[in-house]
Amino acid sequence: MYSQVASISAPVFILVIIGFIIAKFNIELPQKTLGFLLTHIGSPCLIFYILASTKPNINILIEIGIAAILVTFLASVISFILLKIRKEKISPYFSCLIHPNSANLALPLSILTYGEKGLLYAIPYYVFIAFSQNTIGYAVILGSLNLYTFLYHPVFIMSILGCLVMFMDISIYKSILTTTKFLGDIVIPLSLLLLGYSLSNVNIGNLKKACFYSLARIIIGTISGLLTIYLLNLSNAKAGVVMIMAIMPVAILNYIFSVQTNKDPETVGGLVVVSTIMTLLILPIILGLILNFYPLS
C-alpha cells in the first residue's frame, strides 16, 4: 500500500515543485493565458471525453452530484457557525472554507488514485464546485451574482454536450474523441505546474489567521465528507473520490476574487498557500487512509 501511495503522491509533489522552481528562477509563465487554456479548453475537453467515451451510468452521476451538494451544504453550515463564533466577517472566508481546490489538485489525485473510474466520479463533483464557486463564491466575495456568464462557460456547455452524447448513445467520430483526449491531457501536468508557480507568488499575509482557517478547511472538509459518505452509504472508489474532493485545500480562485474586491487579499493568499502546503505535507497519510478504508474495488 505504501508503494501505491508513493506512486500517487510523488508525481504531484514533483510537478508542484517544478512549478515553484520555475517561478524562483524568474521564468515568466503567462498565468492568464495558461489559466484560460485550462478552464476554457483543457477541462471542458476532458469532461466531454470522459462522458462521451466511457458512457457512465446516470445513477452514478446523480449520486456523486448529490454527494457534492451535501458536502458543500454541510461545510457551509459548519463554516457559518465557526465564523459567527469567531465574530468574523462572512466575506471572504466563507467561500474559502466551503470551496476546495477541486480542479488542479483534486482531479489529478482522483485519476492517480482510482484511474479513469476516479475521474468519472470526480467530474460531476468538479462541475458542481465550479458552478458553486463562480456563483455563490463570486457573490459572497465580490458582492454580485452573474449566473448567465457561467451558463455560457465551456465547462457547462461541454458537460451538457457530453451528457447528451452519453444519454442518447450518439456515435462520435474517433478524430473528435482523440482531439478532446489530447486537449484534456494537458489538465493534470499544467494545472499542477501552475499551482506550484502560483504558490510562490502569493503573499502569506496574516500567518496566524491563515494557519487557523487552513486547518479549519481540512477539518471541515473531513467532517463533511465522512458525514456524506455515511448518509449516502457510499463505498470503495466513490467514497474515496468524495473524500479526496472534500478534503482539498482552499481554491486559488478565492484569492483572485479577494484581490479584485480588495477584501483581505493577503490573508486569503495566506490561506491558499498554507492550506495547500499543509495538504501536500500530509498527502501520503491522507491517501494511505483513503485507500485503506475505500479501496478501488
pLDDT (mean) for 65-85: 95
The dihedrals phi and psi of 250, each to the nearest 5 degrees, come to -65, 135
pTM recorded for the entire structure: 0.80
Cβ atoms within 10 Å, residue 179: 13
User: Is 2-293 assigned to CATH 1.20.58.190?
Assistant: no
Looking at the chain, the whole-number percentage of residues with pLDDT higher than 70 is 91
pLDDT (mean) for 10-39: 85
pLDDT at 224 over 70: yes
Q: What does the buried/exposed string (b/e) look like for 76-103 if buried means 16 or more CB atoms within 10 Å of the residue's CB?
A: bebbeebbeeeeeeebbbbbbbbbbbbb
User: Residue 203: its pLDDT value, please?
Assistant: 65
Q: Answer whether 158's CB lies under 8 Å from 44's CB.
A: yes
Q: Which of 217, 201, 222 is nearest to 266 (CA)?
A: 201
pLDDT tens-digit map of 236-273: 999 999 999 999 999 877 877 776 677 777 778 778 88
C-alpha span between 263 and 244 (Å, rounded): 29
Q: Answer whether 213's CB lies under 8 Å from 97's CB.
A: yes
User: Residue 4: its pLDDT value, please?
Assistant: 60
pLDDT (mean) for 40-60: 82
Residue 44 pLDDT level (bands cut at 50, 70, 90): confident
Residue 229 pLDDT level (bands cut at 50, 70, 90): very high
Residue 148 pLDDT level (bands cut at 50, 70, 90): low
pLDDT (mean) for 33-43: 82
Find the range with the poorest average confidence among 30-34, 177-181, 183-187, 278-282.
30-34
pLDDT at 1 over 60: no
What's the mean pLDDT when you consider all of the chain?
Answer: 85
What Cα–Cα distance (Å) separates residue 82 from each residue in 78, 194, 219, 250?
A: 6, 31, 12, 16
Q: Answer whether 84's CB lies under 8 Å from 199's CB.
A: no
pLDDT (mean) for 157-184: 89
Contacts with 181 (C-beta within 8 Å, 6 or more apart), sequence order: 45, 49, 53
pLDDT (mean) for 192-212: 77
Residue 146 pLDDT level (bands cut at 50, 70, 90): low
Q: Answer whether 37's CB lies under 8 Å from 214's CB.
A: no
Residue 163 pLDDT level (bands cut at 50, 70, 90): confident
pLDDT tens-digit map of 101-137: 887 788 888 988 898 889 889 988 988 887 787 777 7
- HEC assignment per residue over the chain: CHHHHHHHHHHHHHHHHHHHHHHHCCCCCCHHHHHHHHHHHHHHHHHHHHHHHHCCCHHHHHHHHHHHHHHHHHHHHHHHHHHHHCCCCCCCHHHHHHCECCCCCHHHHHHHHHHHHHHHHHHHHHHHHHHHHHHHHHHHHHCCCCHHHHHCCHHHHHHHHHHHHHHHCCCCCHHHHHHHHHHHCCHHHHHHHHHHHHHCCCCCCCHHHHHHHHHHHHHHHHHHHHHHHHHHCCCHHHHHHHHHHHHCCECHHHHHHHHHHCCCHHHHHHHHHHHHHHHHHCHHHHHHHHHHHCCCC
Cβ atoms within 10 Å, residue 40: 14
Cβ atoms within 10 Å, residue 2: 9
User: Residue 233: its pLDDT value, please?
Assistant: 95
C-alpha span between 238 and 192 (Å, rounded): 23
Tally of CA atoms within 13 A in the half-sphere of 166 that contains its CB: 22
pLDDT (mean) for 4-27: 83
Tell me the domain boundaries of the chain.
2-293
